[in-house]
C-alpha cells in the first residue's frame, strides 16, 4: 500500500515523499479511505503511529481539490486537542503536509497573545488547530465562526471527552453544522469515551491498529519498587548510566517537577521543567532545547504526556505513578517513536500500589520488575497475567515498611 494508491492529491503525496514518508502506517491505511469517503471515524492506535496524518491528509485532500478559499473569520476544518504541546505538534505536521498549497493552517492556544491570533483568523482558516479554552475565548469575542465548519476532529479523544473538557465541547459542538464529518482518535478507549462519543459521531467506522491501551511494541518496560524518599537518588543512578541520551521524567505535581529538576541540576545534569504554571514561551523554549540536545533531561507533568514527538527520546521515567492509568500508556509513548527502540521505567512507592494495579489492569499484564521487592500483601492485579521476565525473576518478599505519603 502506498499513499498514491490511497488516492490522495498528488501535491500531498509529493510533500510526504520529500519528508521521507512513502508508505502509510496501519492506522493511516485503515482510516484514510473511510475518511475520504466522508464517513465518521473512531480511530485507535498506539502513540507515535501517525494519527495526525490519518485525519489530516483526508481533510487536506478534499480542501486542496476544491480549490476555494474560506470566508472571513470562518473555519473549514477544526481539530481540538487537550494540550498546547499536542496542538502545536498537530499544526506543525499539517503545515508540513500542505506547504506550497493555498491552504491556511492556524493554531490557537492559551498562553500567547490573543490579539495576534484574532488578526490571523480575520481572513478565514482552512484548518484550525485549537485547545478548547482559547477557542471559546475567541468565539466569545466573535473573532471566529464555526457555521461553515465541515470537519471536526478530536485528537486524544479520551482526554477531550473526559469531564475536564466535556463542558467546553458542549459549548462548541452546537455552533458547528449538523451536516459535518467527525473523527475521534486516541491510543486508549475508556468506557466513558465510547459512551460519550455517541453524542458526536453518526454511524462511525471504528478502525484499530492496536488493542486499546496497548503500548508501542518497541518500548521496553520495567518497574522498580522504591520508597518515595529514595526515588531521587535512584533516578540519579539511572540517569548516570546514559548521560548523553535524552530522558523524559514524569512527576505528578508542578511543585514536584520544579523540586526534582533542581535536584537533578545540582547533580550535574542539563535539565529543564515544563508544567501548567510555566508560560507558553518557557514551555516552548524548554522543549526546543530538549529536542536539540541542549537539555538532556526534561521533567514534566502530564502536560507532556501527549503531543511531544521527539524521536531522540530514549528513556521515560515515571517518577510518580499517574493517577489515570491511561496516562501511563501516553507517557511511555513519548519514546520508541518513528520505529526506534525505547525504555520506560516506573518507580512505585507503597502508597502508589493502587495506581500500579490500575495500570497493569489496563495493560492486561504485569510490568517486569527491575528492582526492589513487591510490598507485603500485594498480589497481581485481577485480570492480568505475569510477563515472562516478571514471572522468572519474581523478587522475594519482605516486611512492608511504614506507609509514606507520595
> Is the pLDDT higher at 310 or at 243?
243
Count other C-beta atoms under 10 Å from residue 354's C-beta: 12
- Name every residue whose Cβ is closer than 8 Å to that of residue 282 and which is 6 or more positions away in sequence: 274
- Distance of alpha carbon 192 from alpha carbon 365, whole angstroms: 22
Judge contact between 119 and 73, C-beta under 8 A.
no
> Looking at 110-114, 185-189, 263-267, which range is the least confident one?
185-189
Inform me whether the pLDDT recorded for 405 exceeds 50. Answer: no
Q: Indicate the length of the chain as a whole number.
A: 406
Inform me whether the pLDDT recorded for 115 exceeds 60. Answer: yes
Helix (H) or strand (E) holding 288: helix 280-292
Looking at the chain, the whole-number percentage of residues with pLDDT higher than 70 is 86
- Distance of alpha carbon 61 from alpha carbon 57, whole angstroms: 6
Inform me whether the pLDDT recorded for 275 exceeds 70. Answer: yes
Q: pLDDT tens digits for 356-399? A: 999 999 888 999 999 988 876 455 445 555 544 433 333 333 44
Helix (H) or strand (E) holding 87: helix 84-98
- Which set of grid coordinates corresponds to residue 33? 479511505
Judge contact between 117 and 152, C-beta under 8 A.
no
- Distance of alpha carbon 229 from alpha carbon 217, whole angstroms: 32
Residue 30's nearest CA partner among 61, 6, 66, 65 is 6
Tell me the torsion sign for CA atoms 295, 53, 63, 149: negative
Inform me whether the pLDDT recorded for 161 exceeds 80. Answer: no
CA distances from 157 to 105, 161, 366 (A): 21, 6, 26
pLDDT recorded at residue 211: 59
- 3-state class of 241 per DSSP? coil
- Distance of alpha carbon 65 from alpha carbon 248, whole angstroms: 41
Burial (CB count within 10 angstroms: exposed 0-12, middle 13-18, buried 19+), residue 392: exposed
Question: End-to-end CA distance of the chain, in Å?
Answer: 49
Judge contact between 54 and 35, C-beta under 8 A.
yes
Inform me whether the pLDDT recorded for 400 exceeds 50. Answer: no
> Looking at 74-83, 135-144, 385-394, which range is the least confident one?
385-394
The pLDDT-based confidence of 210 (bands split at 50, 70, 90) is low
pTM, full prediction: 0.71
- Distance of alpha carbon 45 from alpha carbon 64, whole angstroms: 27
Q: What is the DSSP letter of 381?
A: P
Judge contact between 354 and 374, C-beta under 8 A.
no
The pLDDT-based confidence of 103 (bands split at 50, 70, 90) is very high
The pLDDT-based confidence of 225 (bands split at 50, 70, 90) is very high
pLDDT recorded at residue 387: 46
pLDDT recorded at residue 336: 79
- Return the HEC string of 241-275: CCCCCEEEEECCCHHHHHHHHHHHHHCCCCEEEEC
- Which set of grid coordinates corresponds to residue 370? 527491575
Q: pLDDT tens digits for 382-392? A: 555 554 443 33
> Looking at 137-141, 184-188, 232-236, 362-366, which range is the least confident one?
184-188
Q: pLDDT tens digits for 288-319? A: 999 999 999 999 998 777 767 788 899 999 99
Inform me whether the pLDDT recorded for 120 exceeds 90. Answer: yes
- Name every residue whose Cβ is closer than 8 Å to that of residue 324 and which is 6 or more positions away in sequence: none
pLDDT recorded at residue 187: 74
- Name every residue whose Cβ is closer than 8 Å to that of residue 167 and which is 6 or more positions away in sequence: none
Amino acid at each position: 500500500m502506498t499513499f498514491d494508491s490511497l488516492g490522495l492529491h498528488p501535491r500531498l503525496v509529493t510533500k510526504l515523499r520529500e519528508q521521507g514518508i512513502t508508505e502509510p502506517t496501519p492506522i493511516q491505511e485503515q482510516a484514510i479511505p473511510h475518511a475520504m469517503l466522508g464517513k465518521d471515524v473512531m480511530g485507535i492506535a498506539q502513540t507515535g503511529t501517525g494519527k495526525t496524518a490519518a485525519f489530516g491528509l483526508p481533510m487536506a485532500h478534499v480542501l486542496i481539490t476544491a480549490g476555494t478559499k474560506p470566508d472571513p473569520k470562518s473555519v473549514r476544518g477544526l481539530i481540538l486537542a487537550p494540550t498546547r504541546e499536542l496542538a502545536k505538534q498537530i499544526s506543525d505536521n499539517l503545515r508540513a503536509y500542505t506547504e506550497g498549497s493555498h491552504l491556511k493552517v492556524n493554531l490557537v492556544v492559551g498562553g500567547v497573545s490573543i490579539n495576534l491570533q484574532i488578526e490571523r483568523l480575520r481572513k478565514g482558516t482552512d484548518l484550525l488547530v485549537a485547545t478548547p479554552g482559547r477557542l471559546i475565548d475567541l468565539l466569545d469575542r466573535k473573532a471566529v465562526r464555526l457555521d461553515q465548519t465541515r470537519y471536526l476532529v478530536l485528537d486524544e479523544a479520551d482526554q477531550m471527552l473526559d469531564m475536564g473538557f466535556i463542558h467546553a465541547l458542549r459549548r462548541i459542538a452546537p455552533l458547528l453544522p449538523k451536516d459535518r464529518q467527525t473523527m475521534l482518535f486516541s491510543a486508549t478507549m475508556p468506557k466513558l469515551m465510547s459512551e460519550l462519543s455517541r453524542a458526536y459521531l453518526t454511524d462511525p467506522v471504528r478502525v484499530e491498529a492496536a488493542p486499546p491501551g496497548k503500548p508501542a511494541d518497541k518500548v521496553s518496560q520495567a518497574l522498580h519498587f522504591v520508597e518515595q524518599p529514595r526515588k531521587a537518588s535512584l533516578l540519579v543512578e539511572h540517569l548516570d548510566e546514559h548521560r548523553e541520551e535524552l530522558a523524559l521524567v514524569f512527576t505528578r505535581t508542578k511543585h514536584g517537577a520544579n523540586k526534582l529538576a533542581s535536584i537533578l541540576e545540582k547533580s550535574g545534569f542539563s535539565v529543564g521543567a515544563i508544567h501548567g504554571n510555566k508560560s507558553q514561551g518557557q514551555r516552548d523554549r524548554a522543549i526546543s532545547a530538549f529536542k536539540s540536545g541542549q537539555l538532556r533531561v526534561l521533567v514534566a507533568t502530564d502536560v507532556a504526556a501527549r503531543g511531544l514527538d521527539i524521536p531522540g527520546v530514549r528513556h521515560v521515567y515515571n517518577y510518580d505513578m499517574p493517577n489515570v492509568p491511561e496516562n501511563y500508556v501516553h507517557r511511555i509513548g513519548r519514546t520508541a517513536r518513528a520505529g526506534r527502540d525505547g525504555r520506560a521505567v516506573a518507580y512505585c512507592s507503597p502508597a502508589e500500589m493502587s495506581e500500579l494495579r490500575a495500570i497493569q489492569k489496563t495493560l492486561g499484564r504485569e510490568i517486569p520488575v527491575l528492582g526492589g521487592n513487591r510490598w507485603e500483601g500485594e498480589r497481581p492485579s485481577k485480570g492480568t497475567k505475569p510477563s515472562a521476565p516478571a514471572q522468572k525473576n519474581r523478587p522475594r518478599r519482605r516486611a512492608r515498611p511504614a506507609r509514606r505519603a507520595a
